[in-house]
């Protein structure tokens, strides 16, 4: 090549694997470069883009989903293409991608739940929150699951935003959910729900809770539902007060203020109850053939050697009579074929976004990561923007030294020909807009934002296939 990579004649060709928020924020940062000509192809195993914004954000949170408008503008930029319905490692290997792109950015998120590691965890009636969330959101991976909501008492383990979503969907009046894009089959199950009590269980205290201010405030305002708090949980110990005094993030202090203010309401006469219980850890899911209860151990807060506040069991136990359990105790990514992976953390090993060799701990040329697969499941959707920009800066810094080798075919049509030769029906962004329009049309008669297609076959049928 006579011209440098990133020139008009030889644009920097980038493949992004995973079409969630981190992927779109990275693409926006790449395509808005003025001094470097960039072309980006975005790949996703589903025909639908937007990742957890479509498949993870609760249906009663439409304002959060409005971030899609920003991603749509990114998709309209010159140099962008979408290849949905293409699975990395099956339809396209890493070696094949590296023969067509100068750089590869992995933004595949954290799609697996962490286990509690306690007896009875896998009893019928005990589920990962990720499955329930994917089910009511119509994610094709989870539509085959069934949930029996004849249980009257349900425990939700965890005090992050996903746990709060699960609690709210179980408690929310049906009339509120009928206005949303929740799946029809989920509405039918919720219509027959007998759930009366929902226990929200956190191993640490309210001062350390991972939920955000809007999420906890919403639980105080659900029609027909009492959020019941225990006074002793809000009688802060020395470590909690110290934590709040030194914490720079005002979210934690505001959470405690919201809960303290609500404590005065006590237990009212509403037909449904959300009972928040802090400083407790599940040690066993009880039951023989299915969930019959949950054994909890009372915790106290201690500081470890690094100064981190942690929960420690006190040896005091209680059996809670519940008929169903949802665990939301953390998430981890899935290993990608040919890409280094840290199983303990569920992330791709990296340094500021540069993927590291698992043995030598040195950067691997042309491979990068962003989002939850890079740093783990932390923050909110917008947190991924700065994270993605950090990775993009490393990519641009490294671009002049890229040496893809002799067997390199960066021509835009080459990847299309490869997929066709393999019989892969890639879904373009224009195809997606047809699916999008069909979903919106399906929802219009009922005044809903959309009625989703929940099977890939249904989506492809819209495209005449």
Q: How do residues 35-56 score in pLDDT, each as one tens digit?
A: 999 999 999 999 999 999 999 9
Cβ atoms of 319 and 337 within 8 Å: the answer is no
Per-residue pLDDT band for 3 (boundaries 50, 70, 90) equals: low
CA–CA separation, 183 and 138 (whole Å): 6
Question: What is the pLDDT at residue 338?
Answer: 95
Q: What's the pLDDT tens digit per position in 385-444?
A: 999 999 999 999 999 999 888 889 999 999 999 999 999 999 999 999 999 999 999 999
**Domains observed in the chain:** 12-111+332-427 (3.40.50.720), 115-329 (3.50.50.60)
The token pair at 270 is 């509403």
φ, ψ at 416 (rounded to 5°) = -65, -45
Question: What is the pLDDT at residue 66?
Answer: 94
The token pair at 206 is 């309210």
pTM for the whole structure: 0.94
Per-residue pLDDT band for 285 (boundaries 50, 70, 90) equals: very high
Question: What is the pLDDT at residue 1?
Answer: 43
Question: What is the pLDDT at residue 257?
Answer: 97
How large a percentage of the chain has pLDDT more than 70? Answer: 99
The token pair at 305 is 């050697």
Per-residue pLDDT band for 111 (boundaries 50, 70, 90) equals: confident
Determine how many CB atoms are found less than 10 A away from the CB of residue 184: 13
Mean pLDDT for the stretch of residues 257-266? 93
pLDDT at 26 over 90: yes
Q: What's the pLDDT tens digit per position in 148-189?
A: 999 999 999 999 999 999 999 999 999 999 999 999 999 999
Mean pLDDT for the stretch of residues 136-146? 96
At residue 190, the 3 state secondary structure works out as helix
CA–CA separation, 280 and 315 (whole Å): 11
């Amino acid at each position: 090549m006579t011209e440098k990579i990133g020139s008009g004649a030889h644009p920097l060709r980038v493949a992004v694997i995973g079409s969630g928020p981190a992927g779109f924020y990275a693409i926006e940062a790449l395509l808005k470069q003025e001094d470097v000509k960039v072309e980006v192809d975005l790949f996703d195993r589903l025909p639908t883009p937007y990742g957890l914004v479509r498949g993870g954000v609760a249906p009663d949170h439409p304002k959060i989903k409005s971030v899609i408008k920003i991603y749509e503008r990114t998709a309209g930029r010159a140099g962008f293409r979408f290849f949905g319905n293409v699975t990395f490692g099956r339809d396209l290997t890493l070696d094949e991608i590296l023969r067509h792109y100068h750089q590869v950015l992995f933004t595949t998120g954290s799609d697996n739940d962490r286990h509690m590691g306690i007896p009875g965890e896998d009893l019928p009636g005990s589920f990962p929150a990720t499955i329930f969330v994917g089910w009511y959101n119509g994610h094709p991976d989870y539509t085959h699951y069934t949930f029996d909501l004849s249980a009257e008492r349900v425990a939700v383990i965890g005090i992050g935003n996903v746990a709060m979503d699960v609690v709210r969907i179980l408690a929310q009046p049906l009339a509120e959910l009928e206005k949303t894009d929740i799946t029809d089959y989920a509405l039918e199950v919720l219509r027959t729900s007998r759930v009366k009590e929902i226990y929200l269980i956190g191993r640490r205290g309210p001062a350390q809770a991972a939920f955000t201010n809007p999420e906890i405030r919403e639980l105080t305002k659900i029609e027909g539902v009492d959020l019941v708090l225990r006074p002793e949980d809000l009688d802060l110990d020395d470590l909690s007060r110290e934590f709040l005094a030194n914490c720079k993030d005002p979210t934690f202090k505001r959470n405690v203020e919201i809960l303290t203010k609500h404590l005065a309401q006590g237990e009212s006469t509403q037909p449904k109850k959300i009972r928040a219980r802090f400083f407790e850890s599940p040690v066993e899911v009880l039951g023989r053939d299915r969930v019959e209860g949950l054994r909890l151990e009372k915790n106290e807060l201690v500081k470890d050697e690094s100064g981190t506040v942690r929960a420690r069991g006190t040896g005091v136990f209680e059996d809670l009579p519940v008929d169903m359990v949802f665990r939301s105790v953390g998430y981890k990514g899935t290993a990608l074929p040919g890409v280094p992976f840290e199983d303990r953390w569920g992330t791709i090993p990296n340094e500021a976004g540069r993927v590291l060799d698992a043995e030598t701990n040195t950067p691997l040329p042309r491979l990068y990561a962003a989002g939850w697969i890079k740093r783990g499941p932390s923050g909110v959707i917008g947190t991924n923007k700065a994270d993605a920009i950090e990775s993009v800066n490393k990519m641009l810094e490294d671009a002049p030294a890229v040496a893809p080798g002799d067997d390199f075919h960066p021509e835009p049509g080459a990847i299309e020909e490869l997929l066709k030769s393999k019989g892969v029906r890639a879904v373009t962004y224009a195809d997606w807009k047809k699916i999008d329009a069909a979903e919106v049309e399906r929802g219009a008669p009922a005044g809903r934002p959309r009625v989703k297609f929940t099977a890939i076959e249904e989506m492809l049928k819209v495209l005449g296939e």
